[in-house]
A and B are shown apart, each in its own frame.
Chain A
């Protein structure tokens, strides 16, 4: 079955770090661009990182320098290392697969709460 399953979310203090994982099944990670998209509670969607099939990475200004996207194709896993977390980073984080410039496959999401 083709699917994405996120894990690693939880409660973290401001300034702390967290690493999210996204387990991939049913397709090869290296064949697709992959993304992380987040959604604040009761809010809209925001793209937070992208890794191309060639390994190039992109970030919006809101997380650049704090978040790092990576992948291990052999482990069929996508990661998001989040450092210097802020209250504004509190959200459900989804991993998603590219289909052209759209996202055709989404995980169920993992909740990250940044609070003291």
Chain B
């Protein structure tokens, strides 16, 4: 099982807002390490979506936002679109084994 815990799936209708949670512990998120989020479309490599908890790389729409509090983090997607259907992973750093991921969340656009 993954060091960071994510819900296996979430869903929403076009135009709606969805959130994906990422729960860690005192050795990773709770220790102050940054949380990053990746989007993985079917059959492709992961793409950096949010870094350092809430920053967006160039080209990522502002419909995607991130937040962090305590031992958890969240990814929010507003104005849901069909093209957002993908797997989403959170990632952080841990005292051991260093770089850790969540188990991934499958987003279905209804």
Number of A-B contacts (CB under 8 A): 59
CB distance from B42 to the nearest CB of A (A): 11
A44 to B5 alpha-carbon distance, docked (Å): 11
CB distance from A88 to the nearest CB of B (A): 14
CB distance from B45 to the nearest CB of A (A): 4
Report how many residues on chain A are interfacial, defined by Cβ distance under 8 Å. 20
Residues of B within 8 A of A101 (CB): 33-34, 36, 92-93, 99
B100 with A103: CB separation less than 8 A: no
Report how many residues on chain B are interfacial, defined by Cβ distance under 8 Å. 25
Residues of B within 8 A of A79 (CB): none
| Chain B residues close to A by CB (< 8 Å) | 2, 33-34, 36, 38, 44-48, 51-52, 57, 89, 91-93, 97-104
Contact of B46 among A50, A61, A94, A100 (CB under 8 A): A94
B46 with A107: CB separation less than 8 A: no
Per-residue CB contact flags for chain A residues 86-105 toward chain B (1 = under 8 Å, else 0) read 00000000100001111110
